[in-house]
């Protein structure tokens, strides 16, 4: 064993010694085994292969910067940003695929699956899409449909050989309990320009799925099977609304979506594991697959039970916090293993703590440590928590 590996094991042995002392901290009802594991001998991807693929969201620069982790610990890749519309078609008719191509080619060469993320997201729709249009008018809707179809066909055809499934629409469900869809007040111009009410506004969701299915079926009959997903956050509180939308698509539009992506941007104590289980069970009972599409575990508790935002000051990532986070990851992955026959994959929203979207959101410049590997690219206690189990 190398000196570096010995140092790593000693460091985490010290962390393990803290586990009992901090077993009563908030969110740590489940106690994982934090015995250090040599991840070169027992990588995450290989360990979880009998259950589900474990993936990571990446940018192309990470294929060199953390290539060892990407190649050995994850069996599936998602472009964190590069397949979004604002990146691939920032101006109408001019497609820029370089960044996404680099990730896709790496996946092909290394025999990894990909998730296509995402074909339609209100937050990543370029302004040109709506230029010169009047909300709700028939010619507006026809123009939007044409632009959406052109975009989806170009992206899906380019990556159809390597993408296992597509986040066709992203975050279309409202955070407001009194509304079904995200509307213009929550940033969705798609909903507004298709009519502004739920009957008319939801049509854009149908057309996104329709165009995606059609292009996949044109490649090969039956090729769309298992590939059409709706992706959203806070699914534990939104799943009933999601199922209403999917039922409408199925029963009234004749289009069956394959599954739901639970983003999994969770904290040390929210949501409760039981609530996640309940949401998964409800979605599966309705006839849909489930994937965990964007998993990270923030060390901050910024939202009150009523949903109000109260940001916490920056925290030091102490050994105690690392242990608490490890137990949380352990509890989540125990649930995922339990539900593995219902789940198609689990994707971490990043590779290591030196590069995470949570350093800029919801508080810009506040350091977070939400992933399995640390800023030094070494496994954290959370890795040991998810690897120490009896098959």
Name the residues annotated as catalytic: 171, 294
Helix (H) or strand (E) holding 67: helix 67-73
- State the Cα–Cα distance between residues 381 and 391, nearest whole angstrom: 20
Structure-block tokens of residue 24:
């009563």
Residue 226, helix vs strand vs coil: coil
Quick one: CA dihedral 62, 226, 219, 96, positive or negative? negative
Contacts of 75 (CB under 8 A, 6+ apart): 45, 49, 53, 54, 55, 112, 113
Report CA 73 to chain centroid distance, whole Å: 17
Report which DSSP code applies to 340: G
Structure-block tokens of residue 356:
């995470």
Structure-block tokens of residue 372:
């399995």
Report which DSSP code applies to 76: E
Q: Helix axis angle, 273-285 relative to 319-338, nearest 10°?
A: 20
Report which DSSP code applies to 385: H
């Amino acid at each position: 064993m190398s000196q570096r590996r010995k140092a790593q094991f000693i460091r985490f042995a010290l962390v393990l010694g803290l586990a009992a002392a901090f077993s009563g901290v908030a969110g740590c009802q489940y106690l994982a085994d934090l015995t250090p594991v040599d991840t070169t001998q027992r990588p995450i991807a290989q360990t979880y292969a009998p259950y589900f693929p474990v993936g990571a969201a990446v940018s192309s620069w990470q294929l060199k910067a953390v290539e060892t982790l990407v190649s050995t610990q994850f069996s599936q890749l998602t472009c964190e940003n590069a397949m979004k519309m604002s990146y691939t078609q920032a101006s109408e008719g001019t497609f820029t695929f370089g960044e996404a191509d680099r990730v896709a080619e790496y996946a092909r060469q290394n025999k990894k699956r990909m998730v296509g993320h995402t074909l339609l997201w209100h937050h990543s729709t370029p302004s040109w899409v709506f230029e010169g249009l009047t909300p709700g008018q028939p010619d507006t809707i026809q123009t939007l449909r044409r632009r959406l179809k052109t975009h989806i066909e170009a992206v899906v055809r380019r990556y159809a050989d390597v993408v296992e499934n597509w986040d066709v629409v992203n975050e279309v469900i409202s955070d407001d309990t009194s509304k079904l869809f995200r509307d213009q007040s929550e940033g969705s111009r798609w909903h507004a320009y298709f009519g502004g009410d739920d009957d008319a506004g939801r049509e854009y969701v149908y057309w996104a799925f329709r165009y995606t299915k059609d292009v996949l079926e044109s490649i090969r009959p039956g090729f769309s099977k298992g590939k059409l997903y709706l992706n959203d956050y806070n699914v534990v509180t939104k799943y009933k609304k999601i199922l209403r939308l999917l039922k409408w698509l199925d029963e009234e539009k004749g289009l069956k979506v394959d599954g739901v992506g639970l983003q999994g941007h969770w904290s040390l104590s929210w949501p409760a594991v039981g609530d996640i289980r309940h949401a998964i069970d409800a979605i599966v009972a309705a006839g849909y697959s489930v994937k965990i599409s964007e998993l990270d575990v923030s060390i901050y508790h910024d939202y009150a039970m009523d949903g109000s935002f109260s940001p916490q000051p920056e925290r030091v990532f102490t050994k105690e916090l690392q242990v608490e986070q490890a137990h949380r990851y352990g509890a989540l992955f125990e649930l995922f293993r339990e539900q593995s026959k219902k789940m198609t994959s689990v994707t971490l929203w990043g590779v290591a703590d030196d590069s995470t979207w949570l350093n800029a959101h919801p508080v810009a410049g506040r350091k977070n440590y939400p992933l399995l590997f640390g800023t030094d690219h070494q496994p954290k206690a959370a890795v040991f928590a998810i690897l120490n189990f009896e098959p």
